[in-house]
Structures are given as structure tokens and as C-alpha cells.
A and B are shown apart, each in its own frame.
Chain A
Amino acid sequence: DTEVTQTPKHLVMGMTNKKSLKCEQHMGHRAMYWYKQKAKKPPELMFVYSYEKLSINESVPSRFSPECPNSSLLNLHLHALQPEDSALYLCASSQSSGRAGETQYFGPGTRLLVL
């Protein structure tokens, strides 16, 4: 089973709202990722958690706040977003074994619209 699930599928929020995106995997993977993807662009890495610790933060604005409550769950808390933050937010996971060919598996994404 190579399934990563994400909720919600779609989200519309105002610039003063607080919302959270959720991601879950049950593959025993120990690395989890948040990506942002704008239309006709490749995914852009935001955060990486390895063994529930934040290992990479790609200089993401503080209005995005990641959280990894346990090895299966990853959240992205959103607050005071801007319209330019509207995008597809993708979660991915991988084993974090360090082996060549270690693959990241993507969830279906949350399409976010900020009004």
C-alpha cells in the first residue's frame, strides 16, 4: 500500500482565517514533506520532517506552520494567508532510509483558494 491521504480536498479561506491541512500515511515511512505547487510549475518544497523532527524549512513565511504529531501524521497550520498563497498543497512521504532510489509518494493534494 503506497497511499498518502490528505484532507480536505478543497479549501476556501479568507485572509483572516485559521485553517489546517492534514496528511496521513500508514506505510511506516519516517520522512514526511509539504510541497506547494502553482499552476504549470513543479512542486516547490516547503518543509521536511524526519523521525518527527523538522529537518528542512525552505525559508517559508511564518504564516505557514508545520506540525508532526506522530510518525503517521503531518499537519500544516495556515494563518493570515495572502491570495498569492492559493495553490495545490501536496504532502509526500518516504522511508528516510538514505538508500539510493528511496521514493517519495505523494498524496492527492489540497487545493487552497485564499480570498
Chain B
Amino acid sequence: QKEVEQNSGPLSVPEGAIASLNCTYSDRGSQSFFWYRQYSGKSPELIMFIYSNGDKEDGRFTAQLNKASQYVSLLIRDSQPSDSATYLCAVKAAGNKLTFGGGTRVLVKP
């Protein structure tokens, strides 16, 4: 069983709609949760992190964390074609090690 799981997609959303990305993790000791965006051929870029249960909003992005269900999600509101990328969920337990999910490819269609 993979430690961090994401639907590989592609998740196709029309421009202006909400994109909803999900991530589940197996280690109950996980403490911090990160969403990175990666454009093709580029390096991962941090979108946001969350470590408390509930919602955290930053601009058009909202991260949601439910530790009881071992579930973290990312909502992208008012999706733009420039949001088309692969979104990586990453989970950190104690220490410096990040464990990445396989990524969800998002396609925003004009």
C-alpha cells in the first residue's frame, strides 16, 4: 500500500470552475501536509501547507485537512488555464523527510 495516494487524473475542469484534488495518507503520525504545483519540465513550487484540522485559505486556493480520516484536499477556485499542471501532495512526519504522492494532473480548458 502506497503511503500517500492521489488520483493521477487528468482532472479536466472548465475555466472558472472549482478544481478539487484529494490526497490520503497512511501514517497517523504525519504532522504537516504540503501541496506543490509542478509544471512540465519544471521543479515543484510550494502552493501552501497545512498542519491543523480544518480549512486554510490562500487566494484562490483552499487546503482542507481531516486527520481522523487521514485525508487532505486542495480546492482551486476560479480555475485558470495557467493552473494546468501536476499537483503533488506531500506529507511530513517527524524529522526532515517528505513523502510525496504520485501527483494529480489538472487540465483547465478555456
Q: Chain A interface (Cβ within 8 Å of chain B)? A: 31, 33, 41-43, 45, 48, 50, 55-56, 88, 90, 94, 96, 98, 100-109
B49 touches A106 (CB 8 A): no
- B32 is contacted by which of A42, A90, A102 (Cβ under 8 Å)? A102
Task: Give the chain A neighbours of B97 by CB distance below 8 A.
Answer: 45, 48, 56
User: Does B42 reach chain A (CB closer than 8 Å)?
Assistant: yes
B43 touches A101 (CB 8 A): no
Assembled-state Cα–Cα distance A56/B45 (Å) = 23
Measured CB to CB, the closest approach of chain B to A44, in angstroms, equals: 8
A103 touches B42 (CB 8 A): no
Measured CB to CB, the closest approach of chain A to B42, in angstroms, equals: 7
Q: Chain B interface (Cβ within 8 Å of chain A)? A: 31-32, 34, 36, 42-46, 49-51, 88, 92, 94, 96-98, 100-103
| Total A-B residue contacts, Cβ distance less than 8 Å | 50
A43 touches B96 (CB 8 A): no
Measured CB to CB, the closest approach of chain A to B52, in angstroms, equals: 8
A100 touches B31 (CB 8 A): yes
B96 touches A94 (CB 8 A): yes
Assembled-state Cα–Cα distance A41/B31 (Å) = 24
16 A-B pairs whose Cβ atoms sit less than 8 Å apart in the complex: A33-B96, A43-B44, A45-B97, A45-B98, A48-B96, A96-B96, A98-B94, A100-B32, A101-B51, A102-B92, A103-B34, A103-B49, A104-B34, A104-B46, A108-B43, A109-B43
